[in-house]
Amino acid sequence: MLCELRSFQDSQRHAAAIAGWQQVYDQLGAGRPSSELLQVSGERFQVFHEVLDKRVVQHGQSPRKRFCMAFSTARTPVIQGCKVVSNSVLLLRDGEEFMLHAPEGLAFLALCVDLERFSRLAEVELGAERFARFAAMPGMDVPMRLLKAISVGLFRDLDGLVARGSHDDPVLEKRIEDTLMAVLLDLFLQANGEKRRNELAVSTYLVKRSQELALADPQRPLSVLDLCEQLHVSRKTLQNSFQRVVSMRPVEFLRSIRLNAVRRQLMASSADESSVGDVAYAMGFRHLSHFSASYYTLFGEYPSETPRSD
């Protein structure tokens, strides 16, 4: 069983350290990041708490064969294009795609359990029909007092586990799994009504497709008009969508996405394999001085200072 508390100064290394999640963290807030990850993972469960000091867009897929619940313990994010309230929880299941805009100072607590076992237990406690409605929703509202009680109890237990280090104790692992199962069942039982199921917001779709188009051929950066032409939307619709989902202008956001891609490529390759200029050029940055200044503004270091692989 993995029990650890780690600190990071790179958003993608933070993302990669969360076991079982296929995801990318694109940094949007300027400056060198500093984040913290508290994580306990067993064979059939996972619970982690992350604290981010920079604006980040998190996107990817949740773990396969898992039912996951997450909620904010500080600041409110935008999830799938919708701003959540402080007593809302996000629900993800079995490799489901997600997109979360994390504001500066976000703290997020996530619990993941075996999907098949949780479904069996929940159908008994809630009834099959009610659980099916809940399980299909992107999120739900629960009493704030319950979220606070869960946070206090889990933080106390997590701190104790991390202090003791890694464990090889099947009995303890089973007890933690059962505790997390009970927490999730309590959340479902005490939910304050059922949120209306939302289709993926049009704004989120436009931001996601814009990002895909921008990275499909990064050597030719797309303008707002290029995006509007390919997505068949007006400039106002596109710009409003970006403001709603990521609170940035399209060109500014997509430039940050390409800068993050450069950083990942630099960290994954050696200086002998590719120079900074080669990687930057491949991602559509033609003016190295402007690129270097933008890179420094976003990450708090020049591209030549970014660690390369051996």
Q: Based on the domain organization, do 297 and 266 belong to the same domain? A: yes
Query: pLDDT by residue (tens digit) across 89-100?
Result: 889 999 999 888
One domain, residues 170 and 21: yes
Last residue of a domain, one of 141, 167, 189: 189
Q: What is the pTM of this model?
A: 0.80
Token couple for 293:
């200044």
Angle between helices 235-246 and 202-216 (to 10 degrees): 100
Least confident of 108-122, 170-184, 187-201: 187-201
Residues 235, 112 share a domain: no
Label residue 193 by pLDDT band (50, 70, 90).
very low
Q: Is the same domain home to 131 and 259?
A: no
Mean pLDDT, residues 112-126 taken together: 90
Cα separation, 260 vs 252, in Å, equals 13
Per-residue model confidence (pLDDT) at position 192 = 56
Residue 197 has pLDDT above 60, yes or no: no
User: Are 159 and 226 in the same domain?
Assistant: no
Residue type at 113 in one-letter notation: V
Phi, then psi, of 139 in degrees rounded to 5: -175, 175
Query: Residue 146's CB: how many other CB atoms inside 10 A?
Result: 18
Given a cut of 60, whether residue 198 has pLDDT beyond it is no
**pLDDT attached to residue 195:** 42
- C-alpha distance from residue 255 to each of 26, 130, 218, 220, 282 (Å): 11, 44, 10, 12, 13
* Residue 260 exposure: Cα atoms within 13 Å on the Cβ side: 26
The DSSP bridge pattern shows strands 78-79 and 66-74 to be unpaired
In a domain, 206, yes or no: yes
Region 50-79 average pLDDT: 88
**Residue 242 and residue 251: Cα distance in Å, rounded?**
10
Domain range for 214 is 202-302
Q: Could you tell me if 203 and 178 are in contact, meaning their C-beta atoms sit under 8 angstroms apart?
A: no
